[in-house]
Amino acid sequence: MTTIILIAKETIPGRVKTRLHPPLSLEQAAELAAAAISDTLAAIAPLPATRRILLFDGIRLPPGSESYDVIPQTTGTLDARLGAIFDECAGPTLLIGMDTPQLTADDLAPAFTGWPSHVDAFFGPASDGGFWALGMAEPRGDLIRDVPMSRDDTGRIQLDRLRSAGLSVGMLRELTDVDTIDNAREVAALAPHGSFAATLARFEAEASA
């Protein structure tokens, strides 16, 4: 069975989703980030994970994460933090972020309905060139460390790293990360019944009033 890791940070105004400001206020951006985490936790709740880890940067835990093992993020760059948590895990492990609240349990089902014996890793590309999911049957932090993050070629470099190590990679569907207000509107349209969409709609209605 598979361990799932959600990496997230405390939704403090000015520390999360700052690229949504403007048009959102920093407080609204933080509230929208909290809604994204809430929808993500709800989406992955049905998965038959053997262990659930919240890789967290902050103090106040998000509602819905009570059953998770909370592990503080290490210091350093994102590649170092991801590498560290993969080194701490054993057996099939899949990590996702808090930036794709439109994901569904079906998106991750290939890694949780019996990890296929012919697949060494799973990779979920993001439309901005990054990735939203990364899994390995045998977790190895060295396959993540030194991959440059937050670039339009991050996903390609990470995927090449996995394949160059001889791993067979199962591809998950491409999703849009919420980085900009246009991304937020696109994601809200894709998942109109979630907390994220409702929160964004409320903010935009207030701005139009």
Structure-block tokens of residue 176: 């849009």
Q: Could you tell me the pLDDT band of residue 209, with boundaries at 50, 70 and 90?
A: confident
Burial 85-121, CB ≥16 within 10 A → b, else e:
bbebbeebbbbbbbbbbbbeeebbebbbeebeeebbb
Span 62-83, mean pLDDT? Answer: 97
pTM of the model: 0.97
Span 70-96, mean pLDDT? Answer: 98
Tens-place pLDDT, residues 139-196: 999 999 999 999 999 999 999 999 999 999 999 999 999 999 999 999 999 999 999 9
Separation of alpha carbons 95 and 89, rounded Å: 11
Span 36-52, mean pLDDT? Answer: 98
CATH number, position 38: 3.90.550.10
Amino acid type, 112: F
Total tally of structural domains belonging to the chain: 1
Assess contact for 107 and 138: CB atoms under 8 A.
no
Tens-place pLDDT, residues 118-132: 999 999 999 999 999
To the nearest whole percent, how much of the chain has pLDDT over 70? 100
pLDDT beyond 90 at 22: yes
Give φ, ψ of 171 to 5 degrees.
-95, 130
Q: Could you tell me the pLDDT band of residue 11, with boundaries at 50, 70 and 90?
A: very high
Question: C-alpha distances in angstroms, 27 versus 93, 182, 208?
Answer: 34, 18, 18
Separation of alpha carbons 153 and 176, rounded Å: 15
To the nearest whole percent, how much of the chain has pLDDT over 90? 98
**Range of 182's domain?**
3-208
Assess contact for 176 and 191: CB atoms under 8 A.
no
Structure-block tokens of residue 169: 């990679």
Q: Which distant-in-sequence residues (6+ apart) come within 8 Å of 202 by Cβ? A: none
Q: Is the peptide bond before 23 cis (omega within 30 degrees of 0)?
A: yes
Assess contact for 57 and 84: CB atoms under 8 A.
no
